[in-house]
Each structure stands twice: as structure tokens, then as C-alpha cells.
Amino acid sequence: MPTGNSSILKDGLRAAWPICLGYVPIGLAFGVLAQKAGLSPLAVGVMSALVFAGSAQFIAVAMLGAGAGIASIIATTFAVNLRHLLMSSALSVYLRGIRKRWLTLFAYGVTDESFALNLVRFREGNWDWKRALTVNHVTNAVWVASTVAGALGGALIPAHAFGIDYALMGMFLCLLVYQLRGRIYVLTALVAGAAAVGISLTVPGNSYIVAASVIAATAGLFIRRRWPSR
Amino acid sequence: MMTTDYFLLCLGMGLVTYVPRWAPLVALSQRSLPRWLEEWLDLIPAAILSALILPALVTAGEPRQLSLWNNDLLVAGPVFLFALRTRSLGGTVVVGMALYWLAGNVLG
């Protein structure tokens, strides 16, 4: 694998484009919404840069609009983003021996999207932490820029153009396909999906992501231990 | 609006988001993990992706309700098959967008 800075940047950009494409409409929509809630473009940029978490930001703006207090918004953000704990745990397997300060920089960009993409690349080989870090920070830059653009004049941009709203779903579907490398993974995914739907229909919020993933991986581990041939 | 309160809010949100992203990276990458934990973590990506995707496809509304007839779900079938056959990430994204756009125009 080439180690030059330009090839690292090129590989990172080439990998990151589906995420960037998906972030643009969501970022614009967030900016428009935040601006309507009374936030300036600067305020939007500050939140996007400090938090970098799509759904939590949407929820925070809605809560601000409803007059919620700072403490309750922060507590909600914590609950909504706790799922990253699982993602960073899974990524850590591929980040052995990396210096702490790089990990500190890397952690900032761990999102649903960068996690799924980087994990697949790491597993396929031909991927290293510098390329993964590029993905994290390129997607972050696109997120910050799209949200600010949305706050500046997003209402002028036609929404829902060219099916762009489906970009991230398309990416997730393909990344899921990459994960189905054997019966045990298919089984785990099925359990997770069923549990997630069940929990999401009964419990408000997004705790279903963590709950269903933990249930499914634990069930999968149990089955794998019990019937090792799978 | 960009008051001190707002800045503190963003700082707090950033902190509680960052720590769960950071702690496992630093704690787990510096040591070797027990075999069961590695196997468990190996199953996490398939589980998380499925847990992210499926509710987004088959539930809608607030509070969420089951919704088995919508464009997101309709398009997901062929897109999934396309991904299975081609294993192309970029292709899947583009085909997904095209079908979703088409579904929006044809079915409304």
C-alpha cells in the first residue's frame, strides 16, 4: 500500500464520496431548520464542528425550539450518541498500537457512516488508520459546510433532488451486504433487525440501536460457541 | 444567536458525544482482548448496520408505527440485490438514488 500523503488523501477521498453525497442534503436540511429556529450560520457551524452528529443535532434544535434547558439537551445528546461506544470498540481491533494522540484525533470523526465504511475497508485489507482518518475528517468538513450552507440559504436549493435522500441508505445496504460473510453474520443481522424493529416500535428514542446490536451480537456469540461450525 | 449559553450547550453536547467515541479506542486498542470479546465485536458491525437500516425502512411517524408500504422499503429490495450481485459501493449508491428518484416520480 502506497504511503505517500497524496495517495492517502486520494484513497480517503475516493472512499468517502458516498458519505459526502449523503451528508449534503441532510446538512442543508439541518441548516434550514436551525436557521428557522433562530440560529445564525455561525452558531450552526459551531454546533456542527463541536458535535458532528446528525440526529443529535436535529433533536437539539427541536428541543431548543421547544424551550428545553441546556442540561436536558446535553443528557439527550449523550443517550442518542451512546451507540458510538460500540462502534469505537469494534474499530479498536484495527487500531492496535496507534499513538493516543492520533486516536484522539480519530475519535472525533467516528460516525455511523465512517464507522461502517472504515470497518469494511480495514477488514478487506489495503486500508490503514491514515486513510480512515482522512475519511473521518473529509466527511466532517462536508458536514460542517453543508449545515452552514443550509443556514445561509438552503431554502433556495431544491430539496429531494435526484433521489439524493437515498444516498446513505444505499451505502448502508451495500455495507451490510459486505458484512454478511457467513451464516452467523446473516443470523446476527436478522436478529438485530427484528429486535431493532420491535424495540423501536415500543420504546421512544433511538436506544433500539444499541439494545438490538448488543442482543444480536450476544446471541450470535452464544450460537457460534455452541455450534462452532457456523 | 450565538450567546455564551449556546456555546456552553454545544461544548457540553460535543463532550458527551466525544467521550463514548474516544474511550473505547484508547482503552481497547492498547491491549489484547479476550477471545470472546473479539468474537463479540466481530459480530457488532452486522448487528449495528441491520439495526440502523431495518427500522428506517419499516417504521414511520412519531410515535413510530409499522409502515410496510413506502418508497424507502420498496427501493431497498432491488438495491440490496444489486449490492449482493455487484458488491459495488458506488454503484449501489447511484442505483439506489436513481430508483428512489424514479419511485418518487412514478408512485409519488
Model confidence pLDDT, tens digit, residues B75-108: 999 999 999 999 998 899 999 999 999 999 998 7
Share of chain A above pLDDT 70, in %: 98
Q: Which of B11, B23, B51 sits opposite A209 (nearest CB)?
A: B51
Asked if residue A164 belongs to a domain, the reply is no
Residue A174 forms part of a structural domain = no
DSSP string, A177-207: HHH--SHHHHHHHHHHHHHHHHHHHHSSSSH
CB atoms within 10 A of CB A186: 16
* pLDDT band at residue B27 using 50, 70 and 90 as cut-offs: very high
Q: Do A198 and A229 belong to one domain? A: yes
Residues A83-134 have pLDDT tens digits of 999 999 999 999 998 999 999 999 999 999 999 999 999 999 889 999 999 9
Quote the number of domains for chain A: 2
For residue A169, the chain B residues in CB contact (below 8 A) are 53, 56-57, 72, 76, 79, 96
Chain B partners within 8 Å of A208 (Cβ): 51, 55
Check CB contact under 8 Å for A163 and B48. Answer: no
Tell whether B81 lies on the interface with A, counting CB pairs under 8 A.
Answer: no
Q: Is B100 within 8 Å of A184 when comparing Cβ atoms?
A: no
The confidence band for A160, taking pLDDT boundaries of 50, 70 and 90, is confident
The predicted pLDDT at position A229 comes to 67
* B68 vs A5, residue with greater confidence: B68
Same domain, A51 and A146: yes
Rounded-to-integer distance, Cα B90 and Cα A69, Å = 42
Which residues in chain A have Cβ-Cβ distances shorter than 8 Å to B88? 174
Q: Which is more confidently placed, A230 or A141? A: A141
**How confident is the model at residue A227, as a pLDDT?**
86
A124 and A192 part of one domain = no
Are A79 and A189 found together in one domain? Answer: no
Residue A15: what residue type?
A: A
Structural domain including A43 reads 5-158
Q: Does A129 reside within a domain?
A: yes
pLDDT value of residue B71: 95
Name the helix (H) or strand (E) containing A167: helix A167-179
Residue A110's Cβ-side half-sphere holds a number of Cα atoms within 13 Å equal to: 31
| Closest residue to B52, CB basis, from A22, A53, A172 | A172
| Contact across the interface for A21 and B44, Cβ inside 8 Å | no
Q: Is residue A165 part of a domain?
A: no
Same domain, A133 and A214: no
Q: Indicate whether B1 pLDDT > 60.
A: no
Interface of B with A in 88-107 (CB under 8 A): 88-90, 92-102, 104
Model ipTM value = 0.93
A136 and A22 assigned to the same domain: yes
Give the mutation candidate from A52, A96, A113, A166 for the B interface (greatest B CB count, under 10 A): A166
pLDDT tens, position by position, A27-58: 988 898 899 888 999 999 999 999 999 889 99
pLDDT at A230: 52
The string of pLDDT tens digits covering residues B4-13 is 999 999 999 9
Question: What are the distances in angstroms from CA B2 to CA A39, A40, A46, A222, B50?
Answer: 7, 7, 9, 51, 38
C-alpha triplet A112, A113, A115: angle, nearest 5° = 70
> Which pLDDT score, from 0 to 100, does residue A110 have?
96
Task: Tell me: do A154 and A189 sit in the same domain.
Answer: no
A184, A73: one domain? no
A217-223: average pLDDT:
96
Residues B97, A190: contact at Cβ < 8 Å? no
**Structure confidence at residue A37 (pLDDT):** 87
Residue A159 CB neighbours (<10 A): 12
Instruction: Check whether residue A201 and residue A145 sit in a common domain.
Output: no
Q: Which of the four pLDDT bands, split at 50, 70 and 90, describes residue A153?
A: confident
Quick check: is A118 in a domain?
Answer: yes
Does the pTM surpass 0.80? The reply is yes
Note if the bond before B45 is cis, omega within 30 degrees.
no
Contacts with B, A 117-156, CB within 8 Å: 119-120
Interface contact flag, B47 A172, Cβ < 8 Å: no
Q: Is the pLDDT of residue B20 over 80?
A: yes
Q: How far is CA A32 from the centre of its chain?
A: 21
Nearest CB to B47 within list A60, A171, A216: A216
Residues A71 and A28 occupy one common structural domain: yes
Per-residue pLDDT of A163-187, as tens digits, reads 888 988 998 999 999 999 999 999 9
Shared domain for A69 and A147, answered yes or no, is yes
Beta carbons of B56 and A169 less than 8 Å apart = yes
Q: Is the pLDDT of residue A161 over 90?
A: no
Per-residue pLDDT averaged across A142-149, rounded? Answer: 96
Q: Are A163 and B104 in contact (CB under 8 A)?
A: yes
Q: What is the pLDDT of residue A55?
A: 86
Q: Is residue A173 part of a domain?
A: no
